[in-house]
Structure 1
Amino acid sequence: MQKRINFVCMQSDNKVSGGYIYNDYVLGGLSKLGYEVVHHDAKSYLADAGQNAHSCASEHVIIDSIELNALLLALSSDANEVQLSRPIILCHLPPELQLDAQSAKLSNSDKSCECTHECMSMQQLIQRSMLVTTGTACTQYMQAEYQLKDAQLEMVMPGLPAQWKRKSQYSNAPKRLLVVANLIPNKGYELLIEALSQIKHLDWTLDFYGDCDFSPEHAEKIFTSMQQSGLRRRIEYGGTVTQSELNEAMIKADLLIQLSPFEPFSMVSLEAVSSGLPMLSAKTGEMDYFRQSGHVRYLDTLDSREVAKVLSELINDTEKYSELCQSHDTALRSWNEVTLEFHRLLLNLETTHTLQCAGNS
């Protein structure tokens, strides 16, 4: 029997970096290893789940954390009285930090819920699941927030395409700035605009890439703020690009700026340091791992004056910038390695599931 993965996640064709890229590479790799991967949104999965919920076959349910809130809302409907088997939650980001985080408040005490059966809370769903996180920060957060046992958690960090290229030439000063982040809340755009407004007298330009369709209203606010701050003529928006195009943009840039206050791993940091691109970053993501590259300057505080101060320092002080340009040997972690780690995890779960089913028969 062919192994099957029911993957529950809203899909997006506009990808730059982050969770959607991770999903594509891992699921594509698992398909090559013989898994049948079936994509669902929350409602379409629950429509089929009753037939398979108690199967002992080699079948897995993987729920992307971006779909958790929608899944809970669907489960709260009378039409979806489904008992989920123990799913795998692929936790790119804690559910309360997702765009639709207000839905995470759904619980058995929610007075607006008119269900005739008991609703499942986010806490209950997560505690009955296996969690795969993509970085140390997310692992520690989820374990503390949801009181998870060590056996419920696995960490499978992201990788890179095998052909990822490194910079071979550096400018004397970081005049070509780069930002790679979707235009959504908590990605640091407001802070960036405030900081850049303070260094208009310096010689710099900014290219930025990201999806503006996840939160159109917020994206419009960012564009309006850039215009009102008098920065628009110095800033170029490139929309969404392929991984190879992103790699080329990093080769051409002088400095990547990452101001998101919470990143469970920060794939864009991995992509930047593996490109040999110097970074100015908030203290977030897999800091100990990225610090080894020598390419990252971490901010002491995350406020606009500090960002403006450090940018001015790097632009004006050749020596300080050149320290971030020193070549370091960085071991690239391939997507094939990531896929094999995920595959071993699924095999272990299949073995455990088979033993449990045998014991119950």
Structure 2
Amino acid sequence: MSDQASPRCSFIVAGDPGQRTGGYRYDAFIVDGLRERGWKVEVMGLAGRFPVPDELAWEAFDRALTDLPDDSLVVIDGLAMGGLPDVIQTHAGRLRIIALVHHPLADESDIGSVQRMLFLRSEAEALAAVATVVTTSAFTARRLQDFGVASSRISVVVPGVQAAPVAVGGHHPLRMLCVATITPRKGHEVLVAALQRLEKLDWECVCVGSLLRDPLHAQRIARQIQDAGLADRMRLYGEMADVELAGAYAAADCFVLASRYEGYGMVITEALARGLPVVCTRGGALAETLPPEAGLLVAVDDVDALADALRRMIEEPALRKRLRDGARKARDGLRDWADAAAEFARVLDSV
């Protein structure tokens, strides 16, 4: 296919496109998949502060849209657009804008009531101005109707997953893996408190995720682990490269996530792709992402329930085997990123 005939679009994200959170990784996988399908995709990372934008962010966003030719197709990540509806409104008449919403900014757990109300208003205004909206889960699609977005304007493109070998498991002590950026929404303090109650049992917990997005919070979690006497059994490794992360999954016996809210929860399907049984909360979309036969669900912020679920995972090998078998069955039904990109391409073609 010649460059002249290739379909084109732009992706705009907040900050460095190479960040390794679930949302940025989703965007990157979709971009790679579109390119493999012959699309010419330009990815732009915006300078400035997001999601509560500063003047630099406003200028960078406006300049990025101003530089696009009329009738350009542009996908804008919700983290970049949610706080800047006026910029969207200025350019919506001449550009074909698709909002990509992983979860509403207003649903973040560590913002105050005033900022939450501001996001509710600004996100609703921004979403009203775009041509169409893509979300990563049916849960988020339903949630966006609370922002005045009609279901007919929303397309759900569920994440894919990379093929991976099944984790062998069977270690002693039991090896738990948690993959989550160390920020308040991810609930690490609840996980530490739950594991402290299991200090007499045999287990290890590896926590993978950036320590730099909220350094003060990461320091609080590290101090909590130290004070709980768990420093030799629960370790914060920070971000890992793909090869290292694959090794962490391969070495695990089960996966745990204490998150207060997820718009989808890609790490859950990544754990299932390795055949790992899961313990996680019902936060946001997680109850829909985790098949019931593959794991145990607990209420958000319920230390007792999380400790009990993890105790069962450690002490009941029959339960662990049943959930592992369920995870391996679920693994067979996971779709890959090529399928997700193909679905995303169909949305782009319709705009």
Alignment size in residue pairs: 326
Q: Which runs of 5+ in 1 are unaligned?
A: 108-119, 350-361
Cα distance in 2, alignment partners of residues 17 and 253 from structure 1: 20
Aligned counterparts of 1:5 and 1:11: Cα–Cα separation in 2: 19
Asked if the contact 1:15–1:242 (Cα under 8 Å) also holds between the matched residues in 2, the reply is no
- After TM superposition, give the deviation of residue 174 of structure 1 in Å: 6.8
SS of 1:248 mapped into structure 2 = helix
Query: Between Structure 1 and Structure 2, whose CA radius of gyration is higher?
Result: 1
Change (3 A) 1:189 1:25: same
The residue that corresponds to 1:147 in the other structure is 148
Which residue is equivalent to 2:107? 97
C-alpha displacement of 1:50: 3.5
TM-score, structure 2 as length reference: 0.83
Decide which moves more: 211-220 or 181-190.
211-220
Aligned-partner Cα distance in 2 for 1:46–1:148: 24
* Contact map agreement 2:82 2:126 (CA 8 A) in 1: no
Contact 1:179–1:257 (CA<8 Å) still a contact in 2?
Answer: yes
> 1:19 corresponds to which letter in structure 2?
G
Q: Distance in 2 between matches of 1:300 and 1:234?
A: 25
> Which residue identity does 1:316 align to in structure 2?
E
Shift of 1:12: 3.9
**In structure 2, what is the Cα distance between the partners aligned to 1:288 and 1:103?**
28
Report the more deviating stretch, 325-334 or 193-202: 325-334
Which one-letter code corresponds to 1:345 in the other structure?
Answer: V
Correspondence for 1:331 among 324, 330, 333: 333
Code of the aligned partner of 1:6:
S
Over residues 59-109 of structure 1, what are the superposed CA-to-partner deviations in whole Å (9 max), with x where a residue is unaligned?
22211111134534x84xxxx9934345211111112134778656448xx
Q: Which amino acid aligns with 1:37?
A: E
Partner of 1:45 in structure 2?
Answer: 61
- Deviation of residue 264 (structure 1)? 1.6
* Structure 2 CA distance for aligned equivalents of residues 220 and 172 of structure 1: 30
Deviations 1:28-54 (A, max 9, x none): 22233232314141532312434547x
Q: Are 2:14 and 2:80, in contact at CA under 8 Å, matched by a contact in 1? A: yes
SS in 1 for 2:314: helix
Helix, strand or coil for the counterpart of 2:34?
helix
Cα 1:301/1:52, change in 2 over 3 Å: closer
* Residue identity in the other structure for 2:124: Q
Which digits, 9 at most, give the CA deviation of each residue in 1:244-287, with x for residues without a partner? Answer: 43232112111111111221211000000111011111124353
Q: How far apart in 2 are the matches of 1:265 and 1:174?
A: 30
* Residue pair 1:197, 1:229 contacting (<8 A) in 2 also: yes
Aligned to 2:11: 7
Residue identity matched to 2:150: K
RMSD: 2.8
Q: 1:172 offset after TM fit, Å?
A: 7.0
Which 5+ residue runs of structure 2 have no aligned equivalent?
47-56
Equivalent residue, structure 2, for 1:84: 92
Equivalent in 34, 49, 67 of residue 80 of structure 2: 67
Q: How many angstroms apart in 2 are the aligned matches of 1:234 and 1:218? A: 20
Letter in 1 for 2:27: N
**Which deviations, in whole Å up to 9, do the C-alpha atoms of 1:112-152 show, x marking residues without a partner?**
xxxxxxxx933211122221100121111111x11211221
CA distance in structure 1 between the aligned counterparts of 2:303 and 2:156, rounded to whole angstroms: 33
- State the one-letter code of the partner of 1:157: V
Equivalent-residue separation in structure 2 for 1:314 and 1:62 (angstroms): 42
What's the secondary structure of 1:214's corresponding residue? coil
Q: 1:222 matched to which residue of 2? A: 221
Post-superposition shift, 1:314? Answer: 2.2
Contact kept, 8 Å, 2:171 with 2:253, in 1: the verdict is no
> Aligned ranges for residues 9-48 of structure 1 at < 5 Å?
9-12=13-16, 15-16=19-20, 18-32=22-36, 33-41=38-46, 42=57, 43-48=59-64
User: Aligned partners of 2:172, 2:261: CA distance in 1, in Å?
Assistant: 28
Q: Following TM superposition, by how much is the alpha carbon of 1:301 offset from its aligned partner in structure 2, in angstroms?
A: 6.4
The one-letter code of the counterpart of 1:63 is I
Q: Which amino acid aligns with 1:204?
A: W
Q: Would you say the 8 A contact 1:251–1:277 is kept in 2?
A: no
- 1:211 shift after superposition: 1.0
Q: In structure 1, the residue corresponding to 2:195 is in which secondary structure?
A: helix
Conserved 8 A contact 2:135-2:156: yes
> Aligned with 1:132: secondary structure?
strand
Equivalent pair of 1:139/1:155 in contact (CA under 8 Å): yes
Matches of 1:297 and 1:316, distance apart in 2: 14
Secondary structure of 1:264's counterpart equals coil
Matching residue of 1:112: none
Name which structure has the greater RCO, CA cutoff 8 Å, separation 6+.
Answer: 1
Distance change >3 Å, CA 263–CA 289, structure 1 → 2: closer
Q: Go from structure 1 to structure 2 and tell me whether the alpha carbon gap of 1:127 and 1:286 turns closer, same or farther (over 3 Å shift).
A: same
